[in-house]
């Protein structure tokens, strides 16, 4: 067992301390100038991977400056051999950790930038991003422990014994974590999908993290729901199995109208609109259905067409209603308003 001296002479550490501080300041200044120059130069290149690499080593380079300054300080020191070995091990640990951090940042940025572009079947979510970075950092910590001669087996045994207590203490956190992993693997809810929750709130899935799922509503508000709650809810996903969806348009006309004539008008207007309104599916033939039963004051029809995406529903409905109303006015078709027929009984007074 190595014994480290309790006290160190002030004169022994004075020169190394000055060397460390001066060299650290110099290295940090060189780092700042170098990063500023490289950032400006790389912005002119057509490649993105070099920019990602620069961003990934930005934090780790601070540790490298500290390690280099410590190395220069050691070269000018007269420390005891045991102290020298301790600081030398600290340098190696610092370098291993900083390299692991740089690799984790680089893989994370590459994952976010290129997975969607290459259409690789991997979910680009905050949860998967965190798992990827965590795996690299944990690997780096295992390498550090191996370098320091720390056996991993007793640590794993201790973790196994204390795993039950940790699981009970972090029950809600682990439940949300595994629910998020289940959602990602099942792929019933994906980032970018337009969904409607059981509570009636709807919007685009912004991200699925280790604890919550964020849904951006059309009103530009954010709904944050725990993964465990989401996995147990009934969710309507408008993006599955595809973005195309049928859209019904309700139309009511007077009882004096001829149903065949109304059907022909509606099909003509929708067929013409398919060629003129962007977002209407041209390959889908419109369908008109006479609603079951009879309204109190109108004949009710439903026109079914198909749109390319749910976010086009409101503007397309707006345009179709204007066209149908204009055509009805042109053809003299009456759109009724609710009315009642009252019968008044006049009882003569008894005399």
Q: Is residue 222 part of a domain?
A: yes
Cα separation, 340 vs 89, in Å, equals 93
Residue with the larger pLDDT of the pair 313 and 112: 313
Percentage of the chain beyond pLDDT 90 is: 14
Angle among Cα 347, 348, 350 to the nearest 5 degrees reads 120
Containing structural domain, residue 320: 245-331
Q: Is residue 339 part of a domain?
A: no
CA dihedral 45, 48, 51, 56 (to 10 degrees): -170
Q: Is residue 343 part of a domain?
A: no
From 136, 8, 157, select the one nearest 79 (Cα to Cα). 8
pLDDT at 214: 92
Give the CATH number, domain containing residue 270. 3.30.70.100
pTM value is 0.56
Going by the DSSP 8-state scheme, the letter that residue 280 receives in this structure is B
Q: How confident is the model at residue 318 (pLDDT cuts 50, 70, 90)?
A: very high
Phi, psi of 335 (to 5 degrees): -100, 110
Beta-ladder partners of 18: none
122 and 174, same domain (yes or no): no
pLDDT at 35: 81
CA dist list (Å): 274 to 65, 177, 247, 269, 278? 64, 45, 13, 9, 8
Total domains in the fold of the chain: 3
Residue ending a domain, among 187, 214, 241, is 241
**pLDDT tens figures, 191-204:** 889 999 988 888 99
pLDDT at 51: 67
CA dihedral 154, 159, 161, 163 (to 10 degrees): -170
Q: How confident is the model at residue 6 (pLDDT cuts 50, 70, 90)?
A: very low
pLDDT above 50 for 2: no
């Amino acid at each position: 067992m190595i014994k480290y001296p309790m006290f160190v002479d002030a004169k022994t550490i004075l020169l190394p301390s000055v060397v460390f501080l001066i060299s650290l300041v110099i290295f940090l200044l060189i780092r700042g100038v170098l990063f500023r120059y490289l950032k400006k130069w790389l912005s002119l290149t057509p490649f993105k991977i070099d920019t990602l690499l620069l961003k990934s080593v930005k934090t780790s380079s601070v540790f490298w400056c500290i390690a280099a300054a410590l190395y220069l300080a050691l070269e000018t020191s007269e420390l005891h051999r045991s102290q020298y070995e301790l600081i030398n091990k600290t340098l190696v640990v610092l370098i291993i950790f900083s390299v692991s951090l740089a690799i984790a940042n680089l893989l994370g940025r590459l994952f976010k930038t290129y997975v969607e572009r290459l259409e690789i079947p991997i979910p680009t979510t905050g949860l998967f991003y965190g798992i990827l970075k965590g795996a690299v950092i944990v690997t780096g910590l295992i390498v550090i422990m191996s370098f320091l001669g720390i056996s991993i087996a007793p640590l794993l045994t201790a973790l196994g014994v204390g795993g039950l207590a940790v699981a009970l203490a972090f029950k809600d956190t682990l439940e949300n974590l595994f629910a998020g992993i289940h959602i990602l693997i099942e792929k019933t809810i994906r980032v970018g999908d337009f969904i409607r929750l059981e509570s009636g709130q709807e919007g685009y899935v912004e991200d699925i993290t280790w604890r919550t799922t964020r849904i951006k509503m059309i009103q530009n508000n954010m709904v944050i729901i725990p993964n465990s709650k989401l996995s147990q809810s009934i969710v309507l996903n408008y993006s599955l199995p595809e973005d195309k969806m049928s859209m019904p348009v309700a139309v009511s006309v007077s009882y004096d109208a001829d149903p065949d004539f109304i059907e022909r008008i509606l099909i003509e207007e929708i067929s013409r609109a398919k060629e003129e309104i962007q977002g209407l599916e041209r390959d889908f033939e419109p369908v008109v259905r006479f609603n079951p039963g009879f309204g109190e004051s109108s004949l009710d029809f439903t026109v079914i067409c198909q749109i390319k995406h749910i976010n086009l529903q409101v503007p397309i409905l707006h345009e179709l209603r204007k066209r149908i109303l204009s055509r009805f006015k042109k053809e003299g078709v009456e759109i009724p308003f609710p009315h009642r027929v009252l019968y008044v009984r006049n009882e003569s007074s008894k005399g």
